[in-house]
């Protein structure tokens, strides 16, 4: 693990050790630092006031280090990888508190932006659905308002992959909306779903309800409709 030569390093010991200065026993997992070939506990190294911050939160670590007058890198030797690996930082408690407050403020700001973006998407979806409803009623003037609203709302759901979310659907191309209307009629106003539940083949079921769909389309349009 590469380290800046200016960094103060403390070591998480693997085995029980002892402070060379105060002779305090240091069980495995304790932190010590090296000075002129001697191992010192944090108290003797004048770092007992520092707080350990585990690695993992880059923003918190960066800010805590920036606000801490004294800080040290905590490392531990990995027998498997045969190298020292960074475990976190030792920083001043006040610096850590300040860093946490700033990160929380940032998170609140990001959350606010996410909420704002979500509301914007909802408004876009509402606008698209309303525009689709108007276009459907223009194409099918006798279509019940409730059906037109259901078709537009269902077809325009974001991320649904339905025809209304396709480029042609968003552009309100008539063929895309016509297909959405046919799909709605097929499922809501014919026996198509019942036939599928009874084990009928999909293609056969579609042929069986073709005339039903045509009749409803003619009623809603006021003229003949061609059903594929």
Q: What pTM was estimated for this model as a whole?
A: 0.48
Does a structural domain hold residue 134? no
Q: How many Å apart are CA 147 and CA 12, to the nearest integer?
A: 68
Query: Are both 153 and 214 inside the same structural domain?
Result: yes
- Contacts by 213-216, CB closer than 8 A, 24 or more apart: 213/182, 213/185, 213/186, 213/189, 216/185, 216/189
Residue 226: predicted pLDDT: 45
Which among 222, 182, 180 has a CA at the least distance from the CA of 206?
182
Query: 28 — phi, psi (to 5°)?
Result: -50, 135
Instruction: State whether 89 and 154 are in the same domain.
Output: no
The answer as to whether 213 is a domain residue is yes
What is the number of structural domains in the chain?
Answer: 2
Q: Answer yes or no: is 227 within a domain.
A: no
Residue 183 inside a domain? The answer is yes
Token pair listed for 8: 């103060």
In a domain, 186, yes or no: yes
pLDDT-derived band at 170 (thresholds 50, 70, 90) equals low
* 20 and 84 share one domain: yes
Tell me how many helices (H) and strands (E) the chain has: 8, 8
The whole domain housing 30 covers 9-102
Rounded to 5 degrees, what angle do the CA atoms 45, 47, 51 make? Answer: 150
Residue 223: which pLDDT band, with cuts at 50, 70 and 90? Answer: low
110 lies in a domain?
A: no
Judge whether 115 lies within some domain: no
Is 129 within a domain?
no
Give the C-alpha separation, 104 to 180, whole Å. 46
Asked which of 20-29, 63-72, 104-113, 138-147 is least confident by mean pLDDT, the reply is: 104-113
Task: Work out the average pLDDT over 191-202.
Answer: 90
Q: Are residues 93 and 153 part of one domain?
A: no
Per-residue pLDDT band for 35 (boundaries 50, 70, 90) equals confident
Residue 117 vs residue 140, higher pLDDT: 140
Q: Which one is predicted more confidently, 111 or 205?
A: 205
**H/E element holding 38?**
strand 38-41
* Confidence grade of residue 141 (pLDDT, cut at 50, 70, 90): very high
């Amino acid at each position: 693990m590469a380290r800046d030569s200016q960094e103060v390093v403390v070591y998480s010991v693997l085995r029980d050790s002892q402070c060379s200065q105060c002779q305090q026993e240091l069980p495995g997992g304790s932190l010590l630092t090296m000075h002129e070939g001697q191992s010192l506990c944090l108290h003797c190294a004048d770092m007992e006031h520092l707080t350990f911050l585990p690695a993992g939160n880059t923003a918190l670590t960066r800010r805590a280090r920036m606000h801490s007058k004294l800080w040290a890198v905590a490392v531990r030797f990995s027998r498997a990888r045969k190298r020292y690996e960074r475990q976190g930082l030792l920083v001043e408690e006040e610096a850590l508190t300040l860093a946490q407050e700033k990160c929380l403020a940032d998170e609140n700001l990001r959350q606010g932006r996410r909420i704002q973006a979500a509301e914007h998407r909802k408004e876009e979806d509402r606008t698209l659905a309303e525009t689709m409803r108007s276009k459907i009623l223009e194409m099918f003037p006798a279509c019940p308002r409730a059906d037109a609203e259901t078709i537009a709302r269902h077809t325009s759901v974001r991320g649904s992959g339905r025809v209304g979310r396709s480029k042609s659907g968003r552009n309100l191309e008539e063929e895309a909306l016509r297909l959405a209307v046919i799909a709605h009629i097929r499922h809501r106003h014919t026996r198509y779903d019942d036939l599928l539940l009874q084990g009928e083949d999909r293609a056969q079921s579609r042929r069986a309800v073709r005339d039903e769909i045509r009749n409803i389309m003619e009623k809603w349009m006021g003229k003949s409709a061609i059903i594929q």
